[in-house]
């Protein structure tokens, strides 16, 4: 996904079900220790938010949150508060309180299957951030009704990237690029040639060729599309991105690429954009500063770019690259 | 909170971020909030909260702090670190805590009942002793102390003051370990144990990033002999503590060899060490800790004439010897394949179910909590009740002696004989 000189330093680690890769510039002092520090943050994000770890805060909320307030780590509390504000901004198009739907459609660690409409209707009642109560004074989280589940897909990897980038910045690193499973990437500073980091967007469903190369500097980018994880039923293809308000998977072909400083926010915004489409996304980003979204069709052709109402930020569409 | 702020990374650090978010959450969740109030009041601790402080908020301290703030009935009211970036980070996790750079000022506070100490090894004893003298209960990270004398002084101070002194050997509270201990010692699933093999293998420098060279020894203290006892203290002591516990015994002798053979970066502690302990009855335990290969990472393996038990905090596996009789409950147990051999998995639920009907006591296990959380929960419970923690000064002193003597054996090239006096408080 990335382009840079061959002599850069790369470190890889498996976390949250995918490979994470950190790129540091040649000659970066203490590179292995810095990588360790960055991956420690990723591991912290996983321990706090993973639905697959029984001891994570999210699993504890899902298990115990209906019977009483669950005290969580202040970092988890921040992540939830941030995710819920992003839900509000997107009118619920992105919502981590959609675990009931994710589980019903078999996307919580499974391959996916189509449920009956009445099951979807029931799960919808347990969906939405209004079912989750945050109490700042006690640092607790409570679920308003049985069946509500949190699923931080579309947020957790970005959160891990944000924590890792903060750790690197605090350690004095001026230049780094890190991606999580190639769906989210965060850049610190510029690459070793002094240019913004070059990030290639791959054409959906194809291993070769890129749809575009984008430049990133102190900025993050996330990609959301349905072709990576989907199943077919009755001639229809259902992707893993669910619209929390209808309870059905998004059927929009193509990909949405979201760009802003926070990787957690770009992660959420890419999901919301796929749900909302270009018009809806433009509405939520109107007057919204530099955050922006580029829509690509299923062949990787850019269709439309929305947001970025002010001057272009750290990222801009650089060039279209053919196969 | 403007939408611009939502798209920036400020949400991680801004102190006022939560104010906005909680208010926003309240407006959206009005219905739920009212329901919650009407139906049941928020859970309250039955007793007054325990007010606690933390001394040392580096990487390990942060792990502990992020779990301590979750324990019901506990308020973290003070954080202390000499390194400002670490101190600042701790205040994000404990926003109401008072910051300190001198731990003695923290100990001066009369309202603090307990402290968590996660500082470099050479400071454990002085800080723990000062804390107990100041009337505080102490949770101190492992290894217990830099030297045997220091560890004994800590244990004596605990006896003198009657305060709780718990050490951070969290395998003692891990559900898989507790289950495995019973299987080895009560059910005797391995028959007679004759050998133990344990390792912690990593592939990495063990260095931490330092923003400025002047901070090298402060932040990378683990690499320097004047502050650290190296791999045996920081990694080995977890496992050697478990071996002493599982064998219900202390070693009689130790031989060891170690060196700085790969990471020639100025460090003064070994980057690899191999140890052989002899326990009573001719049981030998070989232990290796290396930093250049992470194959099979970490485990302790107990080998007996009827079976082999492999234990890690995440999983336990039992392999029966071909000549051993089948266990009554084995056909019902959860199985796993490891290196072409069938193993019985000690993942609590399955094995527990399999044991039903055998008339044996059920062993309660719970994988739903982080070990750091469980050990801190146990600590604060001990503060309330006075109950002795699982990782108490006596056992922690024993593992400290066991590890330090391995270093001594490696440094002198001699076989060291343990004697009772070494382990006596």
A185 and B CB contact within 8 Å? no
Whole-number percent of chain A with pLDDT over 90: 49
CATH at A109: 1.10.3980.10
Span B340-397, pLDDT tens digits? 677 766 654 434 433 443 333 333 355 567 889 999 999 999 999 988 999 999 999 9
**Which of B3, B17, B210 is facing A78, going by the closest CB pair?**
B17
| A155-174 residues touching B, CB cutoff 8 A | 162-163, 165-166, 170-173
A100 falls within a domain: yes
A69 and B CB contact within 8 Å? yes
CB contact under 8 A, B29 and A37: no
B6 and A CB contact within 8 Å? yes
Q: What is the ipTM of this complex?
A: 0.82
| Domain span at B204 | 172-370+392-423
| A/B interface, count of CB pairs below 8 Å | 170
Confidence check: pLDDT of A251 > 60: yes
**Cβ atoms within 10 A of the Cβ of B412, count?**
10
| Domain span at A137 | 57-143
Residue B157 in 3-state DSSP? helix
B213 and A CB contact within 8 Å? no
List the Cα angle B9/A286/A79 in 5-degree steps: 25
Confidence check: pLDDT of A278 > 80: yes
Span B159-198, pLDDT tens digits? 999 999 999 999 999 988 998 998 999 889 999 999 999 9
Average model confidence (pLDDT) across chain B? 86
Listed ranges A80-94, A141-155, B80-94, B398-412; the one with the highest mean pLDDT: B398-412
Å from B375 to nearest chain A CA? 14
B14 falls within a domain: yes
Beta strands in B169-244 (DSSP E): 193-201
pLDDT at B349: 44
| B66-85 residues touching A, CB cutoff 8 A | 66-67, 69-72, 85
- The DSSP code for B234 is I
Q: Which two tokens stand for residue B130?
A: 């000062």
Rounded Cα–Cα distance for residues A302 and A317 (Å): 10
CATH at B266: 3.30.360.10
* Cβ neighbours for A117, distance < 8 A, ≥ 6 positions apart: none
Best CA proximity match to B160, nearest among B132, B136, B183? B132
Question: Which has the minimum average pLDDT: A62-76, B8-22, B30-44, B62-76?
Answer: B30-44
| B286-325 residues touching A, CB cutoff 8 A | none
Span A163-203, pLDDT tens digits? 999 999 988 999 999 999 878 999 999 998 889 998 888 76
Q: Are the beta carbons of A187 and A216 closer than 8 angstroms? A: yes
Residue B286 CA from chain centroid, whole number: 21
Q: Are the beta carbons of A156 and A99 closer than 8 angstroms? A: no
Residues from chain B contacting residue A129 (CB–CB below 8 Å): 25, 28-29
pLDDT at B9: 87
Residue B417 in 3-state DSSP? strand
Rounded Cα–Cα distance for residues A144 and A97 (Å): 11
Q: Are the beta carbons of A184 and A220 closer than 8 angstroms? A: yes
pLDDT at B242: 98
Chain A residue with Cα closest to B2: A288
Rounded Cα–Cα distance for residues B224 and A319 (Å): 51
B108 falls within a domain: no
CB contact under 8 A, B42 and A135: yes
A122 falls within a domain: yes
Chain A residue with Cα closest to B263: A32
Best CA proximity match to A184, nearest among A240, A263, A265? A263
A167 falls within a domain: no
pLDDT at A235: 76
Confidence check: pLDDT of A92 > 60: yes
Residue A55 in 3-state DSSP? coil
A216 and B CB contact within 8 Å? no
**Residue A15: which H helix or E strand, with range?**
strand A9-15
Q: Are the beta carbons of A104 and A115 closer than 8 angstroms? A: yes
Number of folded domains in chain B? Answer: 2
Long-range contacts of B257-264 (CB under 8 A, 24+ apart): B257/B410, B257/B413, B258/B230, B258/B231, B258/B407, B258/B410, B262/B291, B262/B292, B263/B205, B263/B206, B263/B207, B263/B291
Residue B424 in 3-state DSSP? coil
B251 falls within a domain: yes
Number of folded domains in chain A? Answer: 1
Residue B47 in 3-state DSSP? coil
Pairing of strands A18-24, A132-135: unpaired
A118 falls within a domain: yes
Å from A181 to nearest chain B CA? 20
Rounded Cα–Cα distance for residues A149 and B202 (Å): 37
Residues from chain B contacting residue A49 (CB–CB below 8 Å): none
Beta strands in A87-229 (DSSP E): 132-135, 140-143, 176-180, 184-188, 197-202, 210-216, 220-225
pLDDT at B368: 66
CA dist B36 to A140, A142, B18, B30, B137, Å? Answer: 13, 9, 21, 10, 36
B246 falls within a domain: yes
**Which of B3, B22, B72 is facing A288, going by the closest CB pair?**
B3
Whole-number percent of chain A with pLDDT over 70: 89
Rounded Cα–Cα distance for residues B307 and B317 (Å): 10
Q: How many residues does chain B have?
A: 425
The 3 state secondary structure assigned to B49-73 is CEEEEEECCCHHHHHHHHHHCCCCC
B28 and A CB contact within 8 Å? yes
Q: Which two tokens stand for residue B204?
A: 């990495």
B375 falls within a domain: no
Average model confidence (pLDDT) across chain A? 85
Residues from chain A contacting residue B33 (CB–CB below 8 Å): 133
Residue B277 in 3-state DSSP? strand
Average pLDDT over residues B289-302: 95
Residues from chain B contacting residue A47 (CB–CB below 8 Å): 370
A142 and B CB contact within 8 Å? yes
Chain A residue with Cα closest to B3: A288
Confidence check: pLDDT of B131 > 70: yes
CB contact under 8 A, B22 and A166: no
């Amino acid at each position: 996904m990335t382009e840079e000189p061959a002599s850069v330093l790369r470190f890889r680690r498996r976390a949250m079900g995918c490979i994470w890769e950190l790129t540091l510039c040649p000659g970066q002092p203490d590179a292995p220790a810095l990588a360790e520090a960055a991956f420690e943050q990723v591991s912290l994000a996983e321990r706090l938010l993973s639905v697959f770890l029984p001891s994570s805060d999210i699993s504890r909320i899902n298990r115990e949150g209906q019977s009483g307030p669950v005290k969580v780590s202040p970092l988890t509390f921040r992540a939830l508060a941030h995710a819920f504000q992003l839900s509000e901004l997107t009118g619920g198009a992105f919502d981590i309180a959609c675990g009931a739907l994710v589980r019903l459609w078999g996307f919580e660690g499974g391959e996916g299957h189509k449920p009956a409409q009445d099951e979807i209707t029931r799960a919808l009642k347990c969906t939405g951030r209004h079912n989750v109560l945050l109490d700042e004074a006690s640092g607790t989280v409570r679920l308003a009704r049985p069946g509500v589940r949190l699923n931080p897909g579309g947020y957790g990897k970005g959160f891990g990237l944000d924590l890792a980038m903060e750790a690197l910045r605090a350690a004095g690193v001026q230049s780094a690029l890190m991606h999580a499973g190639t769906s989210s990437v965060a850049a610190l500073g510029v690459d070793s040639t002094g240019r913004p980091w070059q990030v290639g967007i791959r054409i959906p469903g194809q291993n070769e060729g890129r749809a575009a190369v984008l430049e990133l500097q102190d900025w993050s980018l996330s990609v959301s599309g349905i072709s990576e994880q989907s199943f077919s039923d009755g001639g229809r293809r259902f992707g893993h991105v669910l619209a929390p308000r209808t309870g059905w998977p998004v059927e929009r072909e193509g990909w949405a690429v979201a760009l802003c400083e926070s990787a957690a926010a770009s992660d959420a915004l890419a999901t919301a954009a796929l749900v909302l489409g270009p018009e809806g996304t433009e509405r939520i980003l109107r007057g919204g500063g530099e955050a922006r979204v580029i829509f690509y069709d299923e062949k990787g052709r850019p269709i439309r770019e929305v947001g970025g109402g002010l001057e272009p930020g750290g990222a801009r569409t650089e060039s279209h690259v053919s196969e | 909170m403007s939408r611009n702020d939502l798209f920036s990374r400020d949400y991680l650090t801004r102190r006022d971020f939560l104010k906005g978010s909680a208010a926003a959450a309240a407006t959206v969740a009005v219905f739920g909030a009212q329901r919650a109030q009407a139906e049941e009041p928020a859970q309250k601790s039955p007793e007054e909260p325990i007010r606690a402080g933390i001394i040392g908020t580096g990487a390990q301290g942060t792990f502990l702090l992020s779990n301590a703030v979750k324990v019901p009935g506990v308020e973290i009211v003070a954080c202390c670190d000499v390194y400002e970036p670490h101190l600042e980070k701790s205040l994000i996790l404990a926003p109401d805590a008072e910051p300190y750079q001198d731990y003695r000022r923290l100990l001066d506070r009369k309202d603090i009942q307990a402290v968590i100490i996660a500082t470099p090894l050479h400071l454990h004893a002085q800080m723990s002793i000062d804390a107990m003298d100041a009337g505080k209960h102490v949770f101190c990270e492992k290894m217990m102390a830099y030297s045997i004398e220091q560890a004994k002084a800590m244990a004596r101070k605990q006896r003198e003051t009657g305060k709780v002194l718990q050490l951070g050997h969290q395998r003692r509270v891990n559900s898989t370990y507790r289950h495995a201990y019973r299987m080895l010692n009560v059910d005797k699933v391995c028959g007679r144990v004759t050998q133990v093999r344990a390792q912690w293998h990593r592939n990495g420098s063990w260095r931490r990033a330092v923003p400025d060279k002047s901070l090298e020894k402060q932040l990378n203290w683990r690499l320097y002999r004047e502050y650290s006892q190296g791999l045996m203290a920081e990694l080995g002591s977890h496992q050697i503590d478990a071996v002493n516990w599982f064998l219900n015994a202390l070693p009689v002798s130790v031989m060891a060899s170690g060196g700085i053979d790969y990471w020639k970066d100025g460090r003064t502690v070994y980057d690899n060490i191999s140890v052989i302990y002899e326990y009573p009855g001719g049981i030998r335990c070989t232990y290796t800790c290396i930093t250049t290969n992470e194959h099979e990472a970490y485990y302790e393996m107990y080998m007996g004439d009827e079976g082999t038990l492999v234990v890690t905090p995440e999983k336990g596996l039992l392999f029966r010897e071909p000549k051993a009789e089948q266990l009554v409950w084995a056909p019902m147990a959860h199985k796993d394949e490891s290196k072409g051999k069938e193993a019985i998995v000690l993942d609590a639920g399955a094995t527990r179910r399999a044991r039903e009907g055998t008339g044996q006591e059920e062993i309660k296990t719970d994988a739903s909590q982080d070990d750091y959380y469980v050990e801190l929960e146990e600590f604060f419970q001990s503060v309330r009740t006075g109950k002795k923690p699982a990782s108490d000064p006596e056992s922690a002193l024993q593992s400290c002696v066991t590890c330090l003597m391995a270093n001594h054996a490696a440094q002198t090239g001699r076989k060291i004989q343990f004697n009772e006096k070494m382990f006596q408080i």
